[in-house]
Chains A and B, each alone.
Chain A
Amino acid sequence: MKRLLTLVLTFAICLSMLAGCMSGGASTPPPAAGDEVVFTYARAEDIQNWDPLNNNNIVNGWAYNLIYDFLVINNYDGTYSPSLATEWSPSADGLTWTFKLRDDVTFQNGQKLTSDDVKTTFDRVIEDKSLLRASNFTSFESISCPDDYTVEFHLSSPSGVMLMVLSTFPVCSGEQWREKGTDMFKENIGTGPWKFVSWDPGQQIVFERAESYWGECTSNCDRIIYKNITEDTTRVSGLRTGELDFIDSVPADQKELLSGEGFVMDSTLSMDQLLVGFRCVDSVFADFNVRQALNHAIDRQALVESIMQGGRAASWPVGKGVNGFDESSPVPEYNVELAKEYLEKSGYQGETINLIGPIGNYPRIDEILQAVTSMLMDAGFAVKLEPLEGAAFQQRRQEGKYDVYITGCSMAGGDPGTNITQRWKGDSLNSGYKNEELNALIDRSNEESDPAKRTQYLREAMAFSWENLAPWTTILQMDYNCAYKEGVSGVVIRGDKYVFARDVVKN
């Protein structure tokens, strides 16, 4: 018995020691000393890694906006503002873009920013095609630096998304790259107003003010803490208990409750749409009439009102707010009889269609999958619904082993150029749909640098896809719900789910 007692006591001592270790661990929030102002922001996604050219993650964009600066700033209306670059212009043939840089920018380690830093940053992606973001730079051939504050990008073909791309990827230090290689992303020394302090993967990231910032930062906060909280209810509870200042992806059923409790609710129409993708070969959906039948079998408005409780019924391949959107296009009519007529006209013989979707990847997609299955069955389809885990879904789609799928599609930066080039022209989703006319329209929009003309060309490419219902049709555009404490201001919320917090003020 004494031994058992000793065991329990040893156990308790170990526990106390562990608690001691934990309180000094990396996951511990930094102590709020005196009147230190800390802004705490939580969302469901985590940083992937810190190399801007080697990750595919939206939270990275949020963090880079704090630590780094970009050559230009995306105004989300097709225009761009100066940042590190004060002016820029394409050559007459569109194959060379020249950027003039500010001469008063310093990195957080005191090093001056020059054209060499820009060249080194983007040379990497020209040289190493295995970088995860290399596909954004396919037309980049070389970069030259006529002087310390001028950079020239030489392209293989004109690019309509040049400014969009350069507003997405931050400029890193060339000197750091040469000294440390990818180890430089352990320190993340940028030119931005916030310094990277620590990262506990899957838990939190800590930033503090960079006193030496070359520009103006109007934030009154000393620290920004990002918390990765995947559980919706916990995020909401954290806001309610005061442990969090700002949360996103608020469940629709919590919006009114939080508003009633004095929190500020911000429901922005996101640039994310839920879409139905078709397998256009080796499937009943190769037949246009079957695609039409599905298009009229889905009650988009009902999905928006009863399941999503927000957003809007889709009326175009891209959502409202995305370049190329056509306001005049109506929502496809929900008409079961019409859907049945199209089915009769088609060669559909009652074959069971495989509907796949990634569970958990988008809000309420499970319910959407079930509702759409039911609507399709009402219209006369025989449907086998297969909700799949995200990675399994991606593999199934990549192998082309589906008839139809439902998933979300985001248009980062509000421009669909890269997205439709990869997914429609490049058929990265393996729909089997190839159409030279559509590809020519996409190419034309990609090569046009005049914003107005480019928008028109994008619209024409969209119209072609919308009329042919290939390779996808859209169902609904989702809301992006953020909630924050009263007294928080200066946070810019964009429809592509980028939350810019470099000038956050907390009172």
Chain B
Amino acid sequence: MLRYILRRLWQSVFVLIGVSIIAFLLMRLTPGNPAALLLGDGATSEQIALVEAKLGLDKPLYEQYFIYMKNVCMGDLGTSIYFDKPNSELIAMRLPSTALLTSAAILLALVVAIPLGLIAGLKKGSFVDFLSMFFALVGQAMSPVWLGLVLILVFAVSLGWLPALGTGSLKNMIMPAITLGLPMAALLTRMMRSGTVDVMQEDYITATYAKGVRRFDVVTKYGLRNSILPVITIVGIQFSTFMGGAVTTETIFVWPGIGNLSVQAINARDFGLVQSILLVISALIVIVNLLVDIIYTLVDPRLR
């Protein structure tokens, strides 16, 4: 197992180098000059050239890349040209918020989806199954923008139960977590249901029943363990996606996450900040994927 983890970590280094090159080139290929954006509409070409030189944007692309990577290797992610703050500080300020929101949304999704999908799968064709599929359909079709705004209107503006914006308490987290977690819960419910339906028709389940094992034990020990595998995969993927920033949810609820920061950095063509965010997020995704694979091997001994 240790050798497996070390091999994966070694491979991750190349993944991150690849990501850094792609992020670097993508930003450079996107139209928009950071110096001109900083200066505004009134800038002359001479002023733009001066600021470009100050920011090091006048150097050849490969040189800019190597300077950036050299600094990254020394633990320096650079300074934001827009905010004039260290990129590492900006990312560190936002990452916990994003991790919190992501974790809350995933926890909510799991709490809803696992029991609902399991029951629906076990009682295929029943009213519960119909309800769960209706929930899955509606949940996936619902736009986060619409859902977020409706939640604010109902629970913050009309009822006054929850704050509409910001962070600071668990109350602040409820609506953003629902907005982000509900579509995921819908997806996971479907995955869980179909997984359960498939697994419960397997021969080994019939054999287990034939051995006289209680239904509860059959479902929890043999059924759930197998039907949950696709759910874990989806959770891993979604976690990575959310860590990249749930831009819509963060914007609506003024949640200080990494998604908002990315949008601001992209709009300002803050190349260094965008690259740093992508690099940090990629590193996180690599780690999460590794963890998912490890969890897989724990849940399914055949994969060890």
State A229–B173 Cα separation when bound (angstroms).
17
B286 at the interface (CB under 8 A from A): no
Within 8 A of B (CB), among A125-157: 129-130, 132, 134-135
**With contact pairs A51-B84, A234-B252, A391-B269 given, residues A135 and B43 touching in the complex (Cβ less than 8 Å):** yes
> In the complex the two chains form, is B220's CB within 8 Å of A1's CB?
yes
Of the residues B54, B106, B167, contact of A27 by C-beta under 8 Å? B167
> In the complex the two chains form, is B31's CB within 8 Å of A391's CB?
yes
Task: Point out the residues of chain B lying under 8 angstroms from A86, CB to CB.
Answer: none
Task: Point out the residues of chain B lying under 8 angstroms from A490, CB to CB.
Answer: none
Task: Give chain B nearest CB distance to A182 CB in angstroms.
Answer: 8
Closest to A421 in B: B42
A321 at the interface (CB under 8 A from B): no
Of the residues A46, A48, A422, contact of B44 by C-beta under 8 Å? A422
> In the complex the two chains form, is A395's CB within 8 Å of B54's CB?
no
How many residue pairs bridge A and B at CB < 8 Å? Answer: 186
B251 at the interface (CB under 8 A from A): yes
Task: Give chain A nearest CB distance to B13 CB in angstroms.
Answer: 26
Task: Point out the residues of chain A lying under 8 angstroms from B75, CB to CB.
Answer: none
State A196–B264 Cα separation when bound (angstroms).
23
Task: Point out the residues of chain A lying under 8 angstroms from B31, CB to CB.
Answer: 388, 391-392, 395-396
**With contact pairs A11-B107, A25-B96 given, residues A241 and B160 touching in the complex (Cβ less than 8 Å):** yes
> In the complex the two chains form, is A15's CB within 8 Å of B36's CB?
no
Report A350-370 CB contacts with B as 1/0, cut-off 8 Å: 000000000000000000000
Report B253-280 CB contacts with A as 1/0, cut-off 8 Å: 1101000110010011100000000000
B62 at the interface (CB under 8 A from A): no
A489 at the interface (CB under 8 A from B): no
Task: Give chain A nearest CB distance to B48 CB in angstroms.
Answer: 8
Task: Point out the residues of chain B lying under 8 angstroms from A422, CB to CB.
Answer: 41-44
> In the complex the two chains form, is A233's CB within 8 Å of B149's CB?
yes
A28 at the interface (CB under 8 A from B): yes
Tally of B interface residues using CB under 8 Å: 67
Within 8 A of B (CB), among A220-258: 227-231, 233-234, 237-238, 240-241, 243
> In the complex the two chains form, is A48's CB within 8 Å of B83's CB?
yes
> In the complex the two chains form, is A15's CB within 8 Å of B103's CB?
yes
A49 at the interface (CB under 8 A from B): yes
Task: Give chain B nearest CB distance to A126 CB in angstroms.
Answer: 14
Most central of A27, A134, A418, A429 by chain B CB within 10 Å: A27
Task: Point out the residues of chain A lying under 8 angstroms from B85, CB to CB.
Answer: 49, 201
Task: Give chain A nearest CB distance to B50 CB in angstroms.
Answer: 4
The stretch that binds A, out of B18-26, B150-158, B189-197, is: B150-158
State A16–B164 Cα separation when bound (angstroms).
21
Within 8 A of A (CB), among B140-171: 149, 152-153, 156-157, 160, 163-170
Task: Point out the residues of chain A lying under 8 angstroms from B96, CB to CB.
Answer: 18, 21-22, 25
> In the complex the two chains form, is A28's CB within 8 Å of B167's CB?
yes
Of the residues A8, A200, A228, contact of B110 by C-beta under 8 Å? A8
> In the complex the two chains form, is B166's CB within 8 Å of A49's CB?
no
> In the complex the two chains form, is A200's CB within 8 Å of B93's CB?
yes
> In the complex the two chains form, is B168's CB within 8 Å of A29's CB?
yes
Within 8 A of A (CB), among B75-122: 82-85, 90, 93, 96-97, 99-100, 103-104, 106-107, 110
A75 at the interface (CB under 8 A from B): no
Of the residues B42, B84, B295, contact of A419 by C-beta under 8 Å? B42
Report A83-110 CB contacts with B as 1/0, cut-off 8 Å: 0000000000000000000000000000
> In the complex the two chains form, is B100's CB within 8 Å of A22's CB?
yes
Task: Give chain A nearest CB distance to B283 CB in angstroms.
Answer: 18
A3 at the interface (CB under 8 A from B): yes
State A499–B96 Cα separation when bound (angstroms).
33
A26 at the interface (CB under 8 A from B): yes
Task: Point out the residues of chain A lying under 8 angstroms from B256, CB to CB.
Answer: 27, 200, 202-203
A328 at the interface (CB under 8 A from B): no
Task: Give chain B nearest CB distance to A230 CB in angstroms.
Answer: 6
Of the residues A1, A12, A19, contact of B100 by C-beta under 8 Å? A19
> In the complex the two chains form, is A241's CB within 8 Å of B264's CB?
no
A347 at the interface (CB under 8 A from B): no
State A395–B168 Cα separation when bound (angstroms).
40
Most central of A22, A28, A29 by chain B CB within 10 Å: A22
The stretch that binds A, out of B64-72, B130-138, B201-209, B221-229, is: B221-229
**With contact pairs A129-B50, A241-B157, A428-B43 given, residues A49 and B253 touching in the complex (Cβ less than 8 Å):** no
Task: Point out the residues of chain A lying under 8 angstroms from B169, CB to CB.
Answer: 23
State A368–B38 Cα separation when bound (angstroms).
26
> In the complex the two chains form, is A18's CB within 8 Å of B103's CB?
yes
**With contact pairs A130-B53, A237-B157 given, residues A230 and B298 touching in the complex (Cβ less than 8 Å):** no
Of the residues A8, A49, A134, A429, contact of B82 by C-beta under 8 Å? A49
State A233–B149 Cα separation when bound (angstroms).
8
**With contact pairs A238-B165, A241-B164, A394-B37 given, residues A14 and B103 touching in the complex (Cβ less than 8 Å):** yes
State A106–B225 Cα separation when bound (angstroms).
71
B32 at the interface (CB under 8 A from A): yes
Task: Point out the residues of chain A lying under 8 angstroms from B39, CB to CB.
Answer: 56, 132, 135
Within 8 A of A (CB), among B160-190: 160, 163-170, 173
> In the complex the two chains form, is B163's CB within 8 Å of A26's CB?
no
A7 at the interface (CB under 8 A from B): yes
State A394–B269 Cα separation when bound (angstroms).
12
Closest to A261 in B: B157
> In the complex the two chains form, is A423's CB within 8 Å of B157's CB?
no
Taking A8-B107, A18-B103, A23-B169 as known contacts, 5 extra A-B pairs with beta carbons closer than 8 A to each other, sorted by chain A number, are A15-B100, A22-B168, A23-B168, A234-B253, A243-B163
A-B contact pairs, 28 of them (CB 8 A): A15-B107, A18-B99, A23-B169, A27-B256, A48-B82, A49-B84, A51-B84, A56-B38, A132-B39, A200-B256, A202-B261, A203-B254, A228-B254, A231-B254, A234-B251, A238-B254, A240-B157, A243-B165, A388-B31, A389-B32, A390-B267, A391-B269, A392-B30, A394-B41, A396-B31, A398-B36, A423-B41, A429-B41
Q: Which 10 A-B pairs have the closest CB atoms?
A: A391-B32, A422-B42, A49-B84, A392-B31, A130-B50, A18-B100, A56-B40, A27-B256, A237-B164, A130-B54
The interface of chain B, by Cβ under 8 A from chain A, is 30-33, 36-44, 47, 50-51, 53-54, 82-85, 90, 93, 96-97, 99-100, 103-104, 106-107, 110, 149, 152-153, 156-157, 160, 163-170, 173, 220-221, 224-225, 228, 251-254, 256, 260-261, 264, 267-269, 295, 298-299
